[in-house]
Structure 1
Amino acid sequence: MIMIAPQDEPAPGNIKVTRWDWINLALQTLISGGIESVRVLPLGQKLGVSRSSFYWYFESRQDLLDQLLAHWRNTNTKAIVERAQRPAESIIMGVMNVFECWADERLFDPRLDFAIREWARRSDDVRRAIDQADNDRLGAIRDMYRRHGYDEEDAFIRARVLYYMQIGYYVLDLKEPVEARVGHLAAYLRSFTGQEPSDADVAHFMRFIAAR
């Protein structure tokens, strides 16, 4: 039997519905209702299209679920790893690069991360994906510290403290305004690096916040 690969172009007769429309709605549904709510028929009804539109883009529901995981890896995990790997003239600047992910949800979506972690409670495959993502994120942050002269154990523990503290913020659903948290920026930087940030360091990150 000849298999026709799902298409990226809009399906005939459903010009206004794209592959991304399906993925975006599925992501919203995953976040708001959990993985069991991500079903083809209800999604199609919300989009106002038939099941044939879905199968134009995806081979199966599992194919869609795989795309959700891929999107999560290519956004949340990629953002942390990329910023931890950026060249930085100091560890303080390196940590602030990572802080960009916490300050801008366009880079790191905490609701999506939490939804994936909830999904992992029901799927061993997703649990493995979560474990791999955490290892990749922690490894990139650890390597950032190592590049700036921290020994292996110190880099490993500092990476854990930085990363797990932020994930804890999301898990506890703390409602601290960004402005209030940024007010403690210098103290956070001292805690995560053991170094004293300059006024110029703080001003650099404040410019990032203002430009969001």
Structure 2
Amino acid sequence: MAERKPRKDRNLDKASWIAAARKMLIEKGIAGISLRQLAEELGATTGAFYWQFANLEELLEDVRQDWAQRNTAPFTRAIEAAGDDGWEQYLAYVGVLLKEEEYIPQYDNAIRDWAHSSKRTAEVLKEIEALRIQQLHQVFLAMGFTGRAAQVRAYVTYFHQTGYNAMQVSEPREERLLNIPYYAEVLADRADLLDLQTAEAVSEHFAARDSET
């Protein structure tokens, strides 16, 4: 018999329920989320849920907003911390993707899957993706690109990354690091990183940037 989890009931706050729903969404998709399963995951009663939420849809809306903030804010913070230099902003953006600490690619994938069956989720997804593309547009403008050149580079950069995540590309970290200088050359028309000939050199370059910010 599986060990029963200790009941927490009223001690659970909204964040606990949102975290449990986020975990289930990533692991099982929206079809895997139910009030009973959430309560079981948290070792609580279903009654405890109603101390925090009026219904399951209210929790799901909070999950949408959690995703919108959690998976976008790391890019916003990094770009703003990089200052006015567009190249530094681009490197900061890549650094967030490379670390995979605050940004969770699987969360993006789960939201996109959910959007196929939820009009509200599709609305939130559309809004946030437009915001992210606009962020990249501003990065390329700061790099000196203008008009359609800046906009298309923003699209290609964003669509490249979302496609990479959606396909769940599996590659050694060394290979991913070695590709970064060439992505920068293609996407940003910058050869600055091409002198970094090893994965270790690329990793050290981004680690040094992190230590400076």
Give the shorter-chain TM-score range. 0.7 to 0.9
Deviation at 1:152, TM superposition (A): 1.6
Change (3 A) 1:13 1:141: closer
Match in the other structure for 1:122: 117
Deviation at 1:15, TM superposition (A): 6.0
Match in the other structure for 1:171: 166
Uncovered stretches (5+) of structure 1, i.e. residues with no partner: 1-11
Which whole-Å deviations, capped at 9, do the CAs of 1:173-211 have from their partners, x for residues lacking one? 10013332112222221112112215599543144689x
1:76–1:108 CA contact under 8 A, matched in 2 = yes
Matches of 1:209 and 1:90 in 2, distance apart?
16
Q: State the identity %.
A: 24
Matches of 2:55 and 2:100 in 1, distance apart?
30
Which whole-Å deviations, capped at 9, do the CAs of 1:146-179 have from their partners, x for residues lacking one? 1222102111011111111111111111001333
Which whole-Å deviations, capped at 9, do the CAs of 1:122-162 have from their partners, x for residues lacking one? 01111111111111000011011112221021110111111
Q: Does 1:72 align with 2:73?
A: no
Matches of 1:53 and 1:118 in 2, distance apart?
29
Aligned residue-pair number: 199
Which whole-Å deviations, capped at 9, do the CAs of 1:24-71 have from their partners, x for residues lacking one? 111111111111221111211222211221111112101110110111
Matches of 1:107 and 1:208 in 2, distance apart?
17
Change (3 A) 1:133 1:13: closer
Q: Does 1:31 align with 2:12?
A: no
SS of 1:155's equivalent in the other structure is helix
Which of 43, 48, 53 aligns to 1:53? It is 48
- Of 185-194 and 128-137, deviating more is 185-194
**TM norm structure 1:** 0.83
Match in the other structure for 2:175: 180
Deviation at 1:120, TM superposition (A): 0.3
- Report the AA paired with residue 183 of structure 1: L
Match in the other structure for 2:205: 204
Matches of 1:90 and 1:112 in 2, distance apart?
30
Change (3 A) 1:158 1:151: same
Deviation at 1:107, TM superposition (A): 2.0
Aligned-pair Cα RMSD in Å: 2.5
Using CA pairs under 8 Å that are at least 6 residues apart, name the structure with larger relative contact order, 1 or 2: 1
Q: Does 1:103 align with 2:106?
A: no
